[in-house]
Amino acid sequence: MELTVLGYYGGYPDHGVGTSAYLVRSGDYQLLMDCGSGALLALEKYGDPLALDAVLLTHYHHDHAADLGVLQYYYQLHPGTKKMSPLPVYGHTKDPLNFAALTFGSFTQGVGYTADSTLTLGPLRLTFLETAHPVPAFAVRIEELATGQVLVNTSDTRAFAGLAPFAADCDLLMADTNFLAEHQPPMWHLTSTQAGTLAAAAGAGRLLLTHLPQTVDLAQLQAEAQVAAGAIPVRLATAGLRLSVAQ
């Protein structure tokens, strides 16, 4: 299983880099995980939008879903050349208006999930954990069935006790790391120290800091996370970064 970072900022795109969007590949299977601002341009650059098997949205904040509308137009305007028609778009059902918008004509089809869902998408098995965020949002645990490799994405969340067991023993942990250690509440994302602490508590193989802020020193963010993570390797998301989930 392989992860490609298409966009990694929280909130808004900055200097040519978009917000949350990731491509998960397992063999020929391709899952777009979140579809933030700039996702379609990055997907054209680092992949092929028409080669997607499915899209998964962790929640409906714009920095995770802004490009879904233009992806839907892209599918409308490329008749006959795509792998999936309609393209399934998985989203939670706690927000009926946003969930309804996942379906667009015969081009994309919304498919609901809940905290209790276990989805088998091609070679992948997905489970979910509702996070602590101002709107319903879900962390996702993706297991590649053939290899047992596990990728966990916290999505957007503040720190809470359920995250570590959900991420237990994953090979690669993607953590919403939007704040330096010194950040004071209220907060709806992890700090650098909390991301590192989570990786250590979960026994993660590696930690990828993502959903990054635009205005802080990222070297400091990484260093703070590394102190908390101990021996677990920590790195920052970068545009186009392609990582094998295998350790």
Among residues 61, 92, 141, 158, which is the contact residue for Zn ion, using CB under 5 A? 61
Which residue is associated with the tokens 């250590």? Answer: 200
Q: Which of 155, 150, 154 is nearest to 126 (CA)?
A: 150
Phi-psi region at 97: left, alpha or beta (left = phi > 0; alpha = psi -120 to 50):
alpha
Q: Considering beta carbons, is residue 61 or 141 the nearer one to Zn ion? A: 61
> Vertex 162, ends 160 and 165: CA angle to 5°?
130
φ, ψ of residue 198 in degrees (nearest 5): -60, -45
Residue 136 Cβ vs Zn ion, minimum distance, rounded to whole Å: 10
The smaller minimum CB distance to Zn ion, of residues 53 and 156, is found at 156
Cβ-based nearer residue to Zn ion, 21 or 232: 21
Tokens 């390797």 — which residue?
Answer: 233
Looking at 8-16, 68-76, 200-208, 224-232, which segment touches Zn ion (CB under 5 A)?
8-16
- What's the min distance (Å) between Cβ of 46 and Zn ion? 20
User: Which tokens is 77 given?
Assistant: 């305007």
CA nearest neighbour of 19 among 42, 44, 45 = 42
**Per rule CB under 5 A, is residue 63 in the interface with Zn ion?**
yes
Query: What residues does 91 pair with on adjacent strands?
Result: 112
The residue behind tokens 């920590």 is 234
Q: Which of 7, 10, 110, 196 binds Zn ion (CB under 5 A)?
A: 10
Only one of the segments 41-49, 140-148, 152-160, 232-240 lies at the binding site for Zn ion (rule: CB under 5 A); that segment is 152-160
Q: Count residues binding Zn ion (CB under 5 A).
A: 4
Scanning 63-71, 97-105, 122-130, 190-198 for contacts with Zn ion by CB under 5 A, the matching segment is: 63-71
Segment interacting with Zn ion (CB under 5 A) among 38-46, 57-65, 80-88, 109-117: 57-65
Phi, psi of 18 (to 5 degrees): -85, -175
Bridge partners (DSSP) of residue 176 are 210
CB of 63 to Zn ion, least distance (A): 4
Q: Which stretch binds Zn ion (CB under 5 A): 2-10, 42-50, 95-103, 108-116?
A: 2-10
Token duo for residue 1: 């299983």
Counting contacts by CB under 5 A, is residue 156 touching Zn ion? Answer: yes
CB of 23 to Zn ion, least distance (A): 18
The helix/strand/coil state of 99 is helix
Residues at the contact surface with Zn ion, assessed by CB under 5 A: 10, 61, 63, 156
